[in-house]
Structure 1
Amino acid sequence: MSRDPSVVGRRRFLAISGTGALATLAGCSGLLPGGSEPTVDADALAEAVSGDAPAVPETVPVDIEASFVDEQESIARSALDGVPAPFDREEIPNGVIRERLNGVYESATESIDRVDEALTPYDRLDRANGARVDAHEVQAAWRAIDADLTVSELTAETPAIAGSVDEVDARWSYVGDDPVRAVVVHDEIGTEIRAARNWLDSRHRRTTRDGRTALEVGALASDHERARTSVAVASYLFDRFRASLDATADLRARFEAARGILRARVREAKTALPPQDVDEPTSLVDRDVDETAGIRALAELGSEARYRAKDVTASDRDGGDEVPWLANDVLGALDALVFVRAFASLRERIEDGDDIAVEGIEDVAAIRESAIDAVAEARDADRGALLVDAMLPDLADEIRWTDDRLRRASGTVSVDSVAYDAVDYVVAGATCRALPPVCAETAAALRNGSS
């Protein structure tokens, strides 16, 4: 899942300010000057979370040729070759524009340099395409400065790009021989097609002033290039997937049936979820407990589960079986059920007596290690493994993001603040443990219409 800053904001809003049971600490380095709030040493905290987080790269069950990745990388290099970057003050006197374009240029070159470091062909492709988008932003912005390229001129390209999206969409169909593999591939194709349309949608574009500033031209060029890369990936994945099939059965009916089964489970589970935002998170469990990292994680999971369930059930009203994004719908329901199951499991764990409290650095390390173990267990799943592979990277990334936040601390850090961040370790562990059984049930629904 992309990192949403509002998630952290909700959690902090729900949290209480009192320290309660945190008055006595293990691993505590002292107190803040003039106060009584328990703290830990930032260096010791960074050491406790210094081990490598599990690397779970993005994958797709299609054989991606090195030549296709090389082609995207070549497009990026060609665009960069046409600009005299990095820019100096003589080339771009405006410091804001110069800083932005040099930053994007650096991002593009770094992405190119790191393509071969990627752990999977799909990850290599993602990095090459990222470089391609950045390179075209720099190239177009420089043309706006050096050759008076305008937004209006770029806008004239939109119909042709939209036509290429329509062409791929028109020939795309839900073919396959294994519905589990097929749903993962078609989810990716559908996501790319939707992304291409969104990048071309003027309603999502930033307002412009005169349509001539370099940054405005660069931003539009970036949107167009993102649409082009999405079209290229969607078309390539469909062709490669279809060519790999022993049979080309139409799986639309199978996807529709699975979607119906999973949506019904989401509707049923939704009735047992808490409200979107809970004023007193401790009310979520049937026992007396302080507002620990575990309780805060439970509130977070409950909120996220309801949000995802609402999105899934809203689709029932917005188009029903006529909605063409069947594979996306199936994995969207799977995602919602993962958070539902994670919420229920964590609540049971806390009600059984595990508070999951953070009273010092050792607790943070233990919670983190538990999350890492959950990722390893998920990667070992045998049933619904392709679905696990598709969903696990976003869930596992929570560990890395949390590591980064904790490692950036300096001096002394309040234990309550550390506990807030540790919530994401708890969430990662709970969702990664919920993922394999939900994926197994989804695979069963896809293959034989049952769990």
Structure 2
Amino acid sequence: MTRTPQSDRRGGQTGRREFLALSGALGLASLAGCLDQLPGSGPKRIDGDAVADVASDEAPEIAETLPVDIGASFVAEQREIAREKLDSVPAPFDETQIPNGVIRERVNGEYEAAREAIRTSSDAGTAYERLDRATRARTSAHEVQLAWRSVEEDATVDDLRESRAAVADDVDALASRWEYVGDDPVRAAIVHAEVEREIRGARNWLSFRERELEYAAEQPLDFADVAVDIERARTSVAVASYYFDQFRGDLAREENQRERFETARNALRERIRTRGESLPDESEDPTSLVNRDVGRTAGVIALDDILRNARWRTEDRGDERDPPSLASATPTAAKTLVYLRAFEALRERIEDGDDVAVEEVEDVSELRTDAVDAISAARESDRNRLVVDALLPRFARELRWIDDRLSRSAADVPVDSAEWDASGYVVVAETCRAVAPVSTEVASVLREATDP
């Protein structure tokens, strides 16, 4: 979207920027500080209701998936566990059951959240999404159950200690039997990365300190917090075990992928290191990121946002600090490569003359349309679908968050404010455009990897 000069857009009238430049040339720079105080000369504003209408348009639905057969019976099992927990308590609670209003409100809120998650876990969506809702229902229901048991003094801190020890044993048992097997390195990397995520999550949920147990002994909400962390860990173990067993049982042949994953990880890190060396330093003035005289437009703001993500990711080595992480190194690298590619593409776009600016509602609409088109194009890509499906939701879902912000716009919105929010659409467009080519690159690295 190449912006035309203000003078052209306004039928030959001199814009504010041009007027300030002219007044400086005439020795009238002192006038500039007074312009915003003149009648009718304040910051330019646009129709917030129209902006909100733009943000209410339909957006592509991007499903979250995992290349594993997730049976309806397993989802139903998690849902039934949640129901049984809720059925064991007299919720929703009244003031005679839980006199403390803060505790009562919190527990009743979790009760409603669990019921809603149970309901939506049988609705439309992918099996992966339904399972996610069912497990959230399970953990919320457990929090309600244990909070009530704490109020009734029917559960103790010693019970929590025993539960934590038992779940920790389950995590260790899973880790000892789990192997990096697979018959296709791309599918294997995606599935094993998810198993790793669940195992790391379980260990993190169990990492609370003795001090937290001491607090739990005195306060039902603290008790429920610790109890639900243990239940989250227990659920993560159940899900990771299920994923691994389903994946392994579906293999045409078993090949150990560990060395291939190591080779791919090292190759992707080297690519990231090389490309990251060309990134400019972050700057307080994002307009300095492009070799062109341009203002702080939506495009420049987006460029700065993408740069910060790219630099943070090129410098981060979190996958080394928190094992298991060997398979996770591939999707982590892929996300970094998306930001690196998006930064270069957007910088080139601006330097080639596209300001990517917002001056009126139509500009916001164009930026959103561009983002929607980029999401749709990535979703419809017919190559390396497994990697695309793993990456795209992470970047595409940002659209909904930006829509939500803009849908709450006031009736009269400063252009600067609209431009700042609309810059998010630019980030979505450029990152989603990078998903397909990065997916091709990452899949090739995995398939071409040999022993280190």
TM-score, structure 1 normalization: 0.88
Mark the CA change 1:140 to 1:254 in structure 2 (over 3 Å): closer, same or farther.
same
The reply to whether residue 407 of structure 1 matches residue 383 of structure 2 is no
Mark the CA change 1:246 to 1:76 in structure 2 (over 3 Å): closer, same or farther.
same
2:28 counterpart residue number = none
| Whole-Å separation in 2 of the counterparts to 1:39 and 1:152 | 61
Match of 1:290 among 292, 295, 304: 295
1:61-80 aligned at under 5 Å gives the runs 61-80=67-86
Q: CA deviation at 1:262?
A: 0.3
1:362 counterpart residue number = 362
1:287-436 aligned at under 5 Å gives the runs 287-312=292-317, 324-436=324-436
SS at structure 1 position matched to 2:122: helix
| Whole-Å separation in 2 of the counterparts to 1:41 and 1:208 | 55
| Whole-Å separation in 1 of the counterparts to 2:53 and 2:120 | 27
SS at structure 2 position matched to 1:40: strand
Q: CA deviation at 1:408?
A: 2.0
1:93 counterpart residue number = 99
Give the residue type in structure 2 aligned to 1:327.
Answer: A
- Preserved contact between residue 216 and residue 223 of structure 2 (Cα < 8 Å): no
1:230 counterpart residue number = 236
Q: CA deviation at 1:118?
A: 3.6
- Preserved contact between residue 151 and residue 220 of structure 1 (Cα < 8 Å): no
Match of 1:140 among 146, 153, 169: 146
Q: CA deviation at 1:204?
A: 11
Q: CA deviation at 1:193?
A: 0.5
| Whole-Å separation in 1 of the counterparts to 2:85 and 2:52 | 40
| Whole-Å separation in 2 of the counterparts to 1:44 and 1:390 | 34
Q: CA deviation at 1:34?
A: 8.7
Match of 2:222 among 189, 212, 216: 216
Mark the CA change 1:190 to 1:421 in structure 2 (over 3 Å): closer, same or farther.
same
Match of 2:118 among 108, 112, 129: 112
1:171 counterpart residue number = 177
Q: Cα RMSD (Å) of the superposition?
A: 2.3
Q: CA deviation at 1:58?
A: 1.3
Q: CA deviation at 1:89?
A: 1.5
- Preserved contact between residue 157 and residue 213 of structure 2 (Cα < 8 Å): no
Match of 2:200 among 194, 197, 204: 194
- Preserved contact between residue 200 and residue 324 of structure 2 (Cα < 8 Å): no
2:44 counterpart residue number = 38
What stretches of structure 1 of length at least 5 have no aligned partner?
Answer: 1-18, 24-30
Q: CA deviation at 1:149?
A: 2.6
Give the residue type in structure 1 aligned to 2:441.
Answer: E
| Whole-Å separation in 2 of the counterparts to 1:207 and 1:344 | 50
Structure 1 window deviating more from structure 2 (234-243 vs 222-231): it is: 222-231
| Whole-Å separation in 1 of the counterparts to 2:90 and 2:293 | 65
The reply to whether residue 131 of structure 1 matches residue 128 of structure 2 is no
Deviation by residue 1:386-406 (Cα, 9 ceiling, x = unmatched): 011011111101000111111
SS at structure 1 position matched to 2:215: coil
SS at structure 2 position matched to 1:161: helix
- Preserved contact between residue 112 and residue 128 of structure 1 (Cα < 8 Å): yes
- Preserved contact between residue 262 and residue 326 of structure 2 (Cα < 8 Å): yes
Give the residue type in structure 2 aligned to 1:49.
Answer: A
Deviation by residue 1:322-374 (Cα, 9 ceiling, x = unmatched): x6421101111111111111111110111111111111211111111111111
| Whole-Å separation in 2 of the counterparts to 1:37 and 1:351 | 27
1:444 counterpart residue number = 444
| Whole-Å separation in 1 of the counterparts to 2:122 and 2:183 | 32
Give the residue type in structure 2 aligned to 1:295.
Answer: V
Which is greater in Rg?
A: 2
| Whole-Å separation in 2 of the counterparts to 1:324 and 1:266 | 21
| Whole-Å separation in 2 of the counterparts to 1:302 and 1:240 | 39
Q: Identity percentage over the alignment?
A: 51
Q: CA deviation at 1:419?
A: 1.3
| Whole-Å separation in 2 of the counterparts to 1:60 and 1:104 | 28
Q: CA deviation at 1:76?
A: 0.4
| Whole-Å separation in 1 of the counterparts to 2:216 and 2:145 | 19
Give the residue type in structure 2 aligned to 1:43.
Answer: D
- Preserved contact between residue 306 and residue 343 of structure 2 (Cα < 8 Å): yes
- Preserved contact between residue 151 and residue 212 of structure 1 (Cα < 8 Å): no
Mark the CA change 1:34 to 1:229 in structure 2 (over 3 Å): closer, same or farther.
farther
| Whole-Å separation in 2 of the counterparts to 1:253 and 1:375 | 34
1:10 counterpart residue number = none
Deviation by residue 1:1-40 (Cα, 9 ceiling, x = unmatched): xxxxxxxxxxxxxxxxxx969x9xxxxxxx9x99812223
Structure 1 window deviating more from structure 2 (387-396 vs 441-450): it is: 441-450
